[in-house]
Structure 1
Amino acid sequence: MSPAIIFQLHIVLGYVPWLLCFGAYIWPRLKSMDPLEAQRAIATLHSFRFFGLVFIVPGVVGPDLPAGFATPAAYGDFASGLLAILALLSVRTRPLFWLFVISFNVAGAVDLIVDYYHGIQFDLPSAAGALAATYAIPIVYVPILMITHVAAFYLLLRPQPKAARAFAGDAAAS
C-alpha cells in the first residue's frame, strides 16, 4: 500500500474509535450536563489547539510540507485555541463566555474544513511523510475536535427545557 493510501485510510479511520468513544462515554455525559458546563468541557479540549503552531516549526515538520497547508492550519488552530481559552477565562461573564464559545466553534470548525480542503488542494496524502512528528495530529486529534464542534453546535441550537433556562437566568443574575 502506498503511503498516500495509508494516510487517507488513517484519516478516515481516525474518526471510528472517536465516534465509538464519544457515543458511548462523552455524548451521554455532555447531553446531561448544564449547557454552560458542557460547553466549558468542550472549550477545555479546544484550548490545547495552540500546539497547531508546530506545523510551521522547522525540524518538527519536514521541509516538503506544503506551506499552503501548514501556515493556515497552524494559525487557524492557534486562533481557535486562543478563543477557547478566552471562553474559559470569561465563564463568570456569561454574555462574553457565550460569545467566545460561538466564536471558537465557528472559527475552529471553519479551520478544520479549510484544512481538509487545503489537504486535498495541496495533495497532502502524497506529502504525508513531511508531517513528521505532527502526523498524529490529523489522525488522532482532529477527529475529536470536529466531533466536538458538531456536538457544541447541536448543544447550542437545541431547545432548552424551561427549568434549565430559568436556572441559567438565575445563575446569570447572581
Structure 2
Amino acid sequence: MSPEILFPMQLVLGYVVCLLCFCAYVLPRLRSMDRFEAHRAIATLHSFRFFGLVFILPGVVGPSLPAGFATFAAYGDFAAGVLAILALLTARIRPLFWTFVVAFNFVGATDILVDYYHAIQAGLPAVAGQLGAAYVIPVIYVPFLMITHVVALYWLVRPRPGAAQALTGDVAAA
C-alpha cells in the first residue's frame, strides 16, 4: 500500500480508536468530576504538547519533512502546551485559570486544524515516513487532543446544569 493511502487510513483509524477509548473510559470519568476538575485533567493532558517541538528536531524527523508543516506544527503545539501549563499553574486563581483554559483549547484546536491544512498542502501523506519517531504524534496523540478540545470547548459554551435556576432564584425549588 502506498504512503498516500496508509497515512490517512492510520489517521482515520487513530480517531476511531481514540474516540472509542475516550467514550468508554475517559468521558465517564470526566463527567463524574466537577467542571473545574474535568478541565484541569484535560489541561494536564495538553501540557505535554511541548514535545511537538520534535517536528523541528533533526535526527528525530527526516530532513525531507516539509518545513511548511513542521515549523507551524511544532510552535503551535508548543504554544498550546505552554497555555495549558499556565492554566494548571493558575488553578487557584479561577478567573486566570478559565482564561487560560479557553486560550489553550482555542489555540490548540486551531493549531490542529491548520496543521491538517498545511500537511495536505505540503503533501505530507506521500512523505509521512519523514516523521520518523514522531509518526505516532499525528496518528495516536493528536486524535486524543482534538477529541478533548471538542469536549472542553463544548463544556465551556454550554450552560451548566442549574445555572438558569440560580439566575432566576429558583434554587430552593430545585
Asked if TM exceeds 0.5, the reply is yes
Q: Name the residue aligned to 2:130.
A: 130
Q: Name the residue aligned to 2:11.
A: 11
Q: Name the residue aligned to 2:161.
A: 161
* Structure 1 stretches of at least 4 aligned residues deviating more than 4 Å after TM superposition: none
Partner Cα separation in structure 2 for residue 58 and residue 42 of structure 1: 30
What amino acid maps onto 2:30 in structure 1? Answer: L
Q: Name the residue aligned to 2:67.
A: 67
Does structure 2 conserve the Cα–Cα contact (< 8 Å) formed by 1:31 and 1:155? no
Alignment of 1:33-52 (within 5 A): 33-52=33-52
Q: Name the residue aligned to 1:171.
A: none
Partner Cα separation in structure 2 for residue 136 and residue 68 of structure 1: 19
Q: Deviations over 1:20-60 (max 9, x none)?
A: 11111111221221100000000000000000000000111
How far the C-alpha of 1:17 sits from its partner, in A, is 1.1
Partner Cα separation in structure 1 for residue 14 and residue 153 of structure 2: 21
How far the C-alpha of 1:118 sits from its partner, in A, is 0.4
Q: Deviations over 1:111-164 (max 9, x none)?
A: 00000000100010011011011111000100000000000011111211237x
Moved more, 27-36 or 10-19: 27-36
RMSD between superposed Cα atoms in Å: 1.5
Unaligned runs of 5+ in 1: 167-174
| Identity percentage of aligned residues | 70
Partner Cα separation in structure 2 for residue 19 and residue 161 of structure 1: 25
Provide the aligned length of Structure 1 versus Structure 2. Answer: 166
When normalised by structure 1's length, the TM-score is 0.92
Partner Cα separation in structure 2 for residue 60 and residue 159 of structure 1: 44
Partner Cα separation in structure 1 for residue 72 and residue 110 of structure 2: 11
Q: Name the residue aligned to 2:169.
A: none
Which secondary structure does the structure 2 equivalent of 1:135 belong to?
helix
What amino acid maps onto 2:103 in structure 1? Answer: S
| 1:115 counterpart = 2:115 | yes
What amino acid maps onto 2:43 in structure 1? Answer: A
Q: Deviations over 1:60-92 (max 9, x none)?
A: 100000000000000000000000000000000
Partner Cα separation in structure 2 for residue 10 and residue 132 of structure 1: 15
Unaligned runs of 5+ in 2: 167-174
